[in-house]
Structure 1
């Protein structure tokens, strides 16, 4: 078996699994009454945009293009680089490391192709709005998305290095600083240099450098366990996004037994000095929350989405977005609290007691205040400077 044949086999199994998850969610009734009408509505609206009309055509003229910059910066942080490695490869392919290296290289090219398709689709979808409200040439418009694609691949390469490196504070801080600097550079170039025609070469140079860096790392198998763990999480990411609002159904927790303790582990040992049934439920919730990256990521994405929404909305609609953020953040925190405290891990403490509901309301209020305060700061800054 060659590395190319192994790659296509793994890719086929990956998408077959995602298709099975999709078929489980979308049955014929959902497809008939929701998916098909929604698809027809999207096609109809896009045709209206091409004709200079449509549902959001007037809103695009009022909002301008500031929302595109915020959305692009958020979109830079999405995506990942596949490896298609399995845990059994460490045993069965131990004497054929060249197959794993070829598999990772093909997976790298596949991931870059997916990133190119994503930014290409976004450019096509926004083309009617740009043609009517944009103030730059077509070369600058296409160069803008080429530059965003280059920054996106560079951020993916940095994230890959950060995850595969040792889990030390210096390595993690350095990786995040590189991401922040590249996001700031992308925002500057797109916001203030949209007319510069060197956006094309800048995007191409960033893409080539990121491919060379990740291509060189494909030869190394020192972070095999971390890559297998990340691949398992990516395989379950679509199913997790569907089941995150469910109280009863949960995905299996993908664990890495050799992973180091989180940064907040020492600080979470003594959250409460006084012990009671009330503080026990709160301590359980916050300890699990700060040690589980998946739960924190859900709250982070929710807050980031509302932050972006508040930044691009007009001044009169910002209060409504703040109120919606308060309601949704409390609801999302209630789902996490019920999921974490679902199992009877605290012996002798009843879940239906008054202490449980007091602890639940207190924890939800704290999460709600943090998310709302952040969005309020974003609303004030956007009202003053945008």
Structure 2
């Protein structure tokens, strides 16, 4: 078997697994009553948008191009460099390491190609809006997306280095700092570099350098276990996003054997000095929350989505979005609290006591205040400076 044949086989199995998950979630009732009407509405609105009418056209006239910057930053944080490695490769391909290297190289080209396709499709879809409301030249418009694709490739390379290296505070902080610098550079180039001849070279240089750096790292197999772990997480990401909406079911954590204690473990050891049934429920919730990345990710995505919405909305609609986030965040926190406390190990403990409901309300109020405070700060800054 050649490396190319192995790559296509792994890629086929990956997408077949995602398709089976999609078929499990989207049955004929969901497709008939939700998916098909939503798709028809989206196509109709896009056709109206091309003719200068519709909801999207009105929103573009009100918001302008400010929402494009926020959406681009959010899109820059997505994506993944596949390796398509399996844990069994360490046993069955130990004498044919060149196959694993070939597999990783083809997977790298595949990931970069997906990134280019994503930004190209976005550029084509937004072209009618730019033609009506844009104030830059045709070359500058496509130069913006060329620059964004280059920064996206660089961020993907940085995140890959951060994930396969040792999970120390210095390595993680350095990785996040590099990603923040790249995001700031992307925002600066898009916002202030109005001339197209600055955008095309910057995007091409970043893309080529990022691809060459990742290509060189594909020759190394020193971080095999970390790469397998990240590939398993990527394979189960769609399943996790579906199960995140369920109250009773959750995806098991993909953990590495011999994993060290979480970074926040010492801080969560003694949360409350005074012990009681009231503080015990709160301590249980916060300890599980700060040690489980999936739960934190749910709150983070919810807060990030409403923060972006508040930043781009007009001034009169910001209070409504803030009130909506206050209600939604409390509901999401209540689902998390019930999921954490509804465990088999706690089945013998009564949950109809006053201490349980007091702790539940206190936790929900705390999360609600923290999230609402953050969104309020975002609303104030966007009203003053945007």
Fold conserved (TM > 0.5)? Answer: yes
- The answer as to whether partners of 1:141 and 1:194 remain within 8 angstroms in 2 is no
Following the alignment from structure 1 to structure 2, what is the Cα–Cα distance between the partners of residues 339 and 234? 24
Give runs of aligned pairs for residues 31-180 of structure 1, distance below 5 A.
31-180=31-180
CA distance in 2, matches of 1:181, 1:273: 40
Q: 1:22 to 1:348 in 2, by over 3 A?
A: closer
CA shift in 2, pair 1:323/1:223, >3 Å: same
| 2:328 aligned partner | 328
Matched position secondary structure for 1:60: helix
Contact 1:3 1:100 in 2 (8 A): yes
Task: Output one character per residue of 1:2-46: Cα deviation in whole Å (capped at 9) or x when no partner.
Answer: 111111111111111111111111112222222222222222221
CA distance in 1, matches of 2:348, 2:28: 47
Kindly state the Cα deviation for residue 241 of structure 1 after the two structures are TM-superposed. Answer: 0.9
* 2:17 paired with 1:17: yes
Q: What whole-Å deviation, never above 9, does each CA across 1:285-307 have from its counterpart, x for those lacking one?
A: 11111111121112111111111
Question: Partners in 2 of 1:205 and 1:141 — Cα distance?
Answer: 18
Gaps of 5+ in 2: none
1:253 deviates by: 2.1
Q: Is the 8 A contact 2:139 2:196 kept in 1?
A: no
Q: Does 1:225 align with 2:222?
A: no
Q: Cα deviations across residues 321-373 of structure 1 (Å, max 9, x unaligned)?
A: 10111111111111211221121435863233222221111111111111110
| Maintained 8 Å contact 1:83/1:103 | yes
Count of equivalent residues: 386
Which residue of 2 is the match for residue 299 of structure 1?
299
Query: CA offsets per residue over residues 150-185 of structure 1, 9 Å max, x none?
Result: 001100100000111111111111111111111000
Where in structure 1 do 4 or more consecutive aligned residues deviate above 4 Å?
Answer: none
Partner Cα distance (1:7, 1:318) in 2: 48
User: SS at the partner of 2:196?
Assistant: coil
- For the residue of structure 2 that corresponds to 1:272, the secondary structure is coil
Compared CA separation, residues 347 and 19, structure 1 to 2 (3 A) = closer
Determine if contact 1:245/1:335 at 8 Å carries over to the other structure: no
Look up the match of 2:280. Answer: 280
- In the TM superposition, residue 88 of structure 1 has moved relative to its aligned partner by 1.0
The equivalent of 2:201 in structure 1 is 201
The 3-state SS of whatever aligns with 1:229 is helix
Inter-partner Cα distance in structure 1 for 2:267 and 2:223? 28
- Runs of 5+ unmatched residues, structure 1: none
Q: Distance in 2 between matches of 1:165 and 1:257?
A: 16
**Is the Cα–Cα contact under 8 Å of residues 52 and 128 in structure 1 kept in the other structure?**
no
Secondary structure, counterpart of 1:49 in structure 2: helix
Give the SS at the match of 1:263: coil
